[in-house]
Homo-oligomer: A and B are copies of this chain.
Amino acid sequence: MSRDTDHPKEDDVLDLRASRTSLTSAEVEDLEDLALGEDYALNPDFVAMVVDAIDRGDAERLRELLAALHPADVADLMGFLSSDYRSEVVAHLDPEALAEILSELDTEIREDVLEHVPYATLAKALGEMDSDDAVDVVDDLEDDKRAQVLAAMPEIERTAIESSLAYEDETAGRLMQREVVWAPQFWTVGQTIDHFLKEADELPELFFDVYVVDPSHKPVGAVPVSHLLRTRRDAPLAQVMEAITEIPVQMDQEEVAYIFDKYHLISAPVVEPGGRLVGQITVDDIVGVIQDESEEDILALAGVSDAGRDAGVLGIVRSRLPWLILNLLTATIAVSVIAAFQNEIAKLVTLAILMPIVAGVGGNAGTQTLAVAVRALASRELNASNATRIFLREICVGMIDGAVLGSVMSVAVFLWFHDLRLSLTVGLALIVNVSIAAVVGTLVPLTLDRLGRDPAVSSSVFVTFATDSMGFLSFLGLAAVILL
């Protein structure tokens, strides 16, 4: 089982796994071993067993199987089940277990699952979650259901969720949890420890830092919990505390992830514009953000928006068709270059055979440069202070690559068609187009970034368009001059 800062009530997980099953602990062990494959991914056979248990309406068996899974794996299981089977699974989870699982689910799947959960159960489950997870879930509810669920929640939790919802999506405010451990700056280590023992029930299940606050509740430092354990009781917090990196509520989550990664933060205090401590972000939330952001980049570079794991055929079509139609349009414009050289092609059909090579290889060279630039921008390795140097470096690379590819290809073409001028034309065209690819592949993302746009999105369309049309133009143009 895991340690999990997201889910305060670890022991409930233990309950879920132990309780409501007639199996001996040995049998439970076996099921747990069976549940996950060697790569820690859910075992297909286990999924089949769950489906089978549901088909046979064997509730007892279903509970045993679910009890053998960590909440994260139950969430994973949901991804492999159809909506009807999911509702069966949900029906056999108590609020605590549901709380654990809901916050693990992908948005689309969660929306589906939530339709099978009665208000009361959901309200209770939300109460079990950290505020950041509860907000995610409530955010997925349709307005009417959201109203009813919130109404069914205790005052304090409701207002906490409502005020978090007020922050924009993908900001620190949304990412943070309001459960945060703080102590006044005039306390000693001993006072703090005693206070924790007395107020144990008030504390979050898991925390890594005690934030030291001044009288206006502004964080002035942090004391890692492990430091409390190793420091003399009479030491004042103000003396043992470390400097903090404050995260403003409105900061973009990608920014937050960059800071966590750069400074190896485990947790950081989130502050209101006024500077008051309103919550904290922990590194395990950041791991998710980093996964999402890099996934966004991969998909964006491939010209596809994320339809979500659970999307149907039409959802996927919607996520891809727009880019393909745009590509169809740019391709059509690119080939109009060819139309201008119809006579040359009619005279020498070989041109039609070779031009896709020039365009294609240029396209690949452009994609390479683009991917590297996008990556460097994301990791802040590329910025104003070295943009020019990197740009010039890329052009050199492009010209060298082009020269090598050009020479290789002209030899090949000569051996193929025994036409010296043709092989010369191909060689030159490749040098030109691969160099252009380097220029475009660097300039496009740099420009988008300078304009405050995501350099990964739509760059490839520009680049392919440039390398296609320039590929045709350079090759056919040179051919017109050199050959005909």
- Residues on A lying within 8 angstroms of B by beta carbon are 1-7, 10, 14, 37, 39-42, 44, 47-48, 70, 72-73, 76, 79-80, 193, 196-197, 200, 203-209, 222, 224-232, 242-245, 255, 258-267, 283-284, 286-288, 290-291, 294-295, 297-299, 301-304, 307, 309, 313-314, 316-317, 320-321, 323-325, 327-328, 331-332, 334-336, 338-339, 342, 345-346, 349-357, 359-361, 364-365, 367-368, 370-372, 374-376, 379-381, 383-386, 393-394, 396-397, 400-401, 404-405, 408-409, 412, 434, 464, 468, 472
Contact = CB atoms under 8 A, between A and B. Distances in A.
B263 A72 contact: yes
A3 B336 CA distance: 58
A114 to B, nearest CB: 20
A401 B324 contact: yes
Given A230-B196, A321-B401, A408 B298 contact: no
Copies of this chain in the oligomer: 2
B313 A284 contact: no
A47 B381 CA distance: 13
Contacts of A381: 79, 309
A408 B328 contact: yes
28 contacts: A2-B262, A3-B224, A3-B242, A5-B264, A7-B264, A10-B242, A14-B243, A44-B385, A200-B231, A206-B227, A260-B287, A286-B287, A298-B298, A299-B372, A302-B371, A309-B376, A316-B397, A320-B368, A321-B405, A325-B405, A327-B360, A332-B412, A334-B356, A336-B353, A338-B353, A342-B350, A346-B346, A349-B352
B266 A464 contact: no
Given A4-B264, A284-B283, A303-B368, A357 B375 contact: no
A1 B242 contact: yes
Contacts of A208: 208, 225-226, 266
Contact of A353 (B14, B301, B335): B335
Contacts of A327: 360-361, 364
Nearest to A198: B230
A241 to B, nearest CB: 11
B328 A356 contact: no
B301 A302 contact: yes
Contact of A284 (B196, B264, B351, B396): B264
A408 B47 contact: no
Contacts of A42: 380, 383, 385
Contacts of A401: 317, 320-321, 324
Contacts of A260: 287
Given A283-B284, A317-B404, A335-B356, 12 more contacts: A1-B244, A37-B383, A41-B383, A73-B262, A265-B284, A298-B375, A301-B371, A316-B394, A324-B361, A327-B361, A331-B361, A364-B464
A328 B409 contact: yes
Contacts of A243: 1-2, 14
Contacts of A464: 360, 364
A311 to B, nearest CB: 9
Nearest to A199: B230
Contacts of A349: 342, 345-346, 352
Nearest to A386: B80
A206 B335 CA distance: 62
A240 to B, nearest CB: 10
Contacts of A39: 255, 258, 380
B263 A2 contact: yes
